[in-house]
């Protein structure tokens, strides 16, 4: 699956990583949902920025 993540705070250009991750195995009673897009909350940007 494609993913974007960060492991430290800072400017998006320097801390965001984009890559492929293995899909985790589903447990009993779990489902997988494909997300096409998601919103970005301004407070999330401030938290990532430090």
Structural domain of residue 35, as residue ranges? 2-49
Total number of domains constituting the chain? 1
The 10s digit of each residue's pLDDT in 15-48 is 999 999 999 999 999 999 999 998 888 988 888 8
Please report which confidence band the pLDDT of residue 49 belongs to, taking 50, 70 and 90 as the band edges.
confident
CB-based burial label for 1 (10 Å; 0-12, 13-18, 19+): exposed
- pLDDT at position 30, please? 97
Alpha helices in 1-50 (DSSP H): 12-15, 42-49
Strand 2-5 to 17-20 pairing:
antiparallel
């Amino acid at each position: 699956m494609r993913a974007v993540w960060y492991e430290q705070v800072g400017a998006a250009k320097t801390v965001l990583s984009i890559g492929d991750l293995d899909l985790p195995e589903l447990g009993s009673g779990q489902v997988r949902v494909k997300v096409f897009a998601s919103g970005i909350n301004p407070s999330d940007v401030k938290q990532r920025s430090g």
